[in-house]
Amino acid sequence: MHARTLARSLASLLAASSLVLHAASAQVPGLPVLQNAFGNPGLSAAFDYGSGGGASTYVGAASYGAGRLILSGGVGAFVPDTGSTAASFGARVALPLVSFMGGSLGVAAFAGVGGVTLHDVSTTQVPLGAAVGWRHRFGATRGFSIYAAPIVNYQRASGGGESESAWTFQYSVGADLALTRRLGLTIGVGPASQPGHFELDDTDTMFGAGIAWAFGVR
């Protein structure tokens, strides 16, 4: 009897872990640094949109959950209100560390790198942070999660024989909604420095949204 109860509990926990699908925004400039404390196994694909600071960003991304590691990467278009569109990229690795409350509350560490060249200035950012997330399921195939992350962000801008670098403290807050076991939505907000200039301490509020499809969830 105890073995059957334990098996049912483990099955319920594994099912709940696949209910919240995070849009794989990686670490692309122009998007807030959104990181959940949970991930789904296997391959996921996403389309992400960011807006703020006089620019919009469109990103195609993918992530892969292998064991405890969550790897993600993406490429996109950074579209300023004035000036030319620039290609952007990003990659991130996240590692869930601990969970509490039967798997409903979790903590994950993450690190990423991303870059874009705009107005002949190349900007690279390397965020390091920890995400705290809470998730809840409703129904057989749906669920939601809310999460927040303090972030220490290293940034470097270079161009025209000039370079600047800075460490800044940032944060992000986001929410994921699993519409089915495979389809999920993400929204979030956080500050970020605008690429294309050397004033790295100046930040704008960035809003982000994404839609994700998980191939590895049954």
pLDDT digits (tens, 9 = 90+) for 166-211: 898 999 999 999 888 889 999 999 987 778 777 777 788 999 999 9
Of the candidate ranges 10-19, 24-33, 79-88, 187-196, the one whose mean pLDDT is the lowest: 10-19
Class of the CATH domain delimited by 2-214: mainly beta
Helix (H, G, I), strand (E, B) or coil at 102: helix
Average of per-residue pLDDT across 20-38: 77
Confidence of residue 41 (pLDDT cuts 50, 70, 90): confident
Taking the C-alpha atoms of residue 151 and residue 126, their distance in angstroms, rounded to an integer, is 10
Confidence of residue 25 (pLDDT cuts 50, 70, 90): low
Taking the C-alpha atoms of residue 20 and residue 155, their distance in angstroms, rounded to an integer, is 31
Select from 144, 124, 119 the least CA-distant residue to 134: 144
Backbone angles phi, psi at 45, to 5 degrees: -125, 155
User: Is the model's pLDDT at 4 over the cut of 60?
Assistant: no
Is the dihedral angle over the CA atoms 26, 32, 87, 164 positive or is it negative? negative
Of the candidate ranges 3-12, 61-70, 149-158, 205-214, the one whose mean pLDDT is the lowest: 3-12
Taking the C-alpha atoms of residue 89 and residue 40, their distance in angstroms, rounded to an integer, is 22
**Residue-wise pLDDT tens digits, 53-105:** 889 999 999 999 887 889 999 999 999 988 889 999 999 999 999 988 888 99
- Residue found under tokens 């270079």: 158
For 70, the token pair is 């969550």
- What pLDDT sits at residue 26? 67
Residue 10 sits at the vertex; the CA angle it makes with 177 and 173, to the nearest 5 degrees, is 30
Read off the amino acid at residue 104.
S
Backbone angles phi, psi at 177, to 5 degrees: -130, 120
Q: Whole-prediction pTM value?
A: 0.85
Average of per-residue pLDDT across 149-158: 93
Helix (H, G, I), strand (E, B) or coil at 45: strand
State the chain's mean pLDDT as an integer. Answer: 84
Report the first-to-last Cα separation within the chain, whole angstroms: 27
